Amino acid sequence: MQTKIVKITDENKKEVLEKAANIIKSGGLVVFPTETVYGLGANVFDEKALAKIFSAKGRPSDNPIIVHISDEDQLKELVDTVSEQQKKLINAFWPGPLTIVFEKKKEISDIVSGGLPTIAVRMPSNPIAHELIYLAGVPIAAPSANISGRPSGTTGEHIYDELTGKVDMIIDAGFSDIGVESTVLRINNEQVLILRPGAITKEMLEKILFPLAVIFAKDRRELQFSPGTKYRHYAPKAKLEIISEKMEKRAEVLKEKKLRIGIITTKQNKDSFEKYKPNVFVLGDRNNLEEISQKLYDALRFFDTHPVDIILCESFPKEGLGVAIMDRLDRASM
Ligand code: TXA
Ligand code: MG
């Protein structure tokens, strides 16, 4: 398949998005930017197009896909009922990086829901994503744009390598703002389960949903509601170790064993790792978790082109956005 790759600008935006919308309408695949990570999109009502998403990504068929909408009317095409709590969340956080799990309409394909009776929906705030969905006139089903098991793509370059030849078009808009995938949540029996942490944090959800309890889904029974979490994820090609203290010491020990070492560190600590250059990636300021999350997958992918035996990465406090950052790092190191 020939892949059309375009860097989107103010000048070509209208033309590019019209072409992309036409591809979606005629059953093709388009990679597009969102505020979290890039998505690999297809018309949610076109089963053939949905099947192509799974083959392009090498994705297991029981892993359901998030559906992206541009306005609340489109939600009615996907679900019959929206609860009071769900309404509160929509008012507070849409458009934005929050995915809500609803009971799905019967007509919605099992390919999207991975056979579950539910459907995960979000309304992205990225204006390019918004415009594309609007012009396509249909909700767009889109997993993250990456080969299954690899870190999500957060720049055009990440995606060229993996998906050229497998999709009809790639819209490159530079770095994603947030850099980690949306928060996914499900409300059941007066309990709010965070199935995947993201930029909408537990604290932000609690403020809106008080007095409802918000908890992170941890055990197997809870996570059966989010099949994606059982697969290996976000993995760089080399082994990854997350280090909470004395990273220099750990690096010394491994160096003595003649291992090639990669370092993921921050502005505050980078001077300690001069001798490991060029295999050093500086994420940004430790005290600015937005900066850290934005560069996280770029850091993991950096070592695809800087081959090492083991990557050591600084750890971050599991608070606020730090929960999502550490969730992805923990999974990448499994
Ligand atoms: O930020 C994001 O959410 C990005 C952008 C493109 O929007 N998308 C994304 O999609 O991360 P994906 O497919 O890589 O991850 C979707 C996650 C998986 O963990 C999947 O299991 C879960 O959402 N999910 C999808 N549908 C679900 C459902 N009906 N019930 C529970 N979890 C669901
Ligand atoms: Mg993904």
Residues 258, 147 share a domain: no
What H or E segment, with its residue span, contains residue 303?
A: helix 289-305
Strand runs labelled E in the chain: 4-7, 30-32, 39-43, 66-68, 98-103, 118-122, 140-141, 169-172, 183-188, 191-196, 213-216, 239-243, 261-265, 280-282, 310-314
Q: Of 131, 154, 179, which closes a domain?
A: 179
* Rounded average pLDDT per 10-residue block, the chain, 334 residues: 96 98 98 98 98 94 95 98 96 98 96 95 98 98 95 94 96 98 92 96 96 84 61 78 94 95 98 97 98 97 94 97 96 91
Q: Is 235 left (phi over 0), alpha (psi -120 to 50) or beta?
A: beta
Q: Is residue 234 situated within a structural domain?
A: no
Determine whether the shortest distance from the Cβ of 196 to ligand 1 is under 6 A: yes
Number of domains in the chain: 2
Residues 250, 171 share a domain: no
* Structural domain span for residue 108: 4-179
Mutation to probe ligand 1, out of 66, 116, 125 (largest number of atoms < 8 A from CB): 66
Q: Is residue 64 situated within a structural domain?
A: yes
Residues 297, 160 share a domain: no
Residues 107, 175 share a domain: yes
Give the CATH number for residue 299.
Answer: 3.40.50.11030
| Interval between CA 119 and ligand 1 midpoint (Å) | 10
Residues 147, 41 share a domain: yes
Q: Of 179, 202, 224, which closes a domain?
A: 179
| pLDDT score of 223 | 62
Q: Of 156, 179, 202, which closes a domain?
A: 179
Axis crossing angle, helix 156-163 with helix 289-305, rounded to the nearest 10 = 40
| pLDDT score of 171 | 98
Residues 172, 44 share a domain: yes
Q: Is 149 left (phi over 0), alpha (psi -120 to 50) or beta?
A: left
Mutation to probe ligand 1, out of 162, 226, 294 (largest number of atoms < 8 A from CB): 226
List, in order, residues 6 or more apart from 42 with CB less than 8 Å away. 24, 27, 28, 29, 30, 49, 50, 52, 53, 140, 141, 142
Residues 245, 115 share a domain: no
Q: How far, CA to CA in Å, does 57 sit from each of 13, 40, 65, 255? A: 27, 9, 12, 36
Residues 30, 158 share a domain: yes
| pLDDT score of 219 | 61
Residues 175, 246 share a domain: no
Place of tokens 């599991």: 318
Q: Is residue 41 situated within a structural domain?
A: yes
Q: Is residue 206 situated within a structural domain?
A: no
| pLDDT score of 190 | 80
Measured distance CA(215)–CA(192) in Å, rounded: 6
Q: Is residue 13 situated within a structural domain?
A: yes
Measured distance CA(264)–CA(273) in Å, rounded: 10
List, in order, residues 6 or more apart from 139 with CB less than 8 Å away. 44, 45, 67, 68, 69, 74, 77, 78, 121, 133
Place of tokens 């009502």: 45
Q: Is residue 99 situated within a structural domain?
A: yes
Determine whether the shortest distance from the Cβ of 41 to ligand 1 is under 6 A: no
Determine whether the shortest distance from the Cβ of 294 to ligand 1 is under 6 A: no
∠ CA 38-42-46, rounded to 5°: 165
Q: Is 306 annotated as a binding residue?
A: no
Q: Is residue 205 situated within a structural domain?
A: no
| Interval between CA 303 and ligand 1 midpoint (Å) | 26
Measured distance CA(299)–CA(293) in Å, rounded: 10
End-to-end CA distance of the chain: 34
Give the CATH number for residue 65.
Answer: 3.90.870.10
Determine whether the shortest distance from the Cβ of 142 to ligand 1 is under 6 A: yes
Q: Is 3 annotated as a binding residue?
A: no
∠ CA 63-318-218, rounded to 5°: 40
Q: What is the DSSP letter of 104?
A: P
Residues 21, 153 share a domain: yes
Q: Is residue 199 situated within a structural domain?
A: no
| pLDDT score of 236 | 80
| Interval between CA 275 and ligand 2 midpoint (Å) | 34
CA 121 to chain centre: 14
Q: How much is the pTM?
A: 0.95
Residues 261, 172 share a domain: no
Residues 8, 107 share a domain: yes
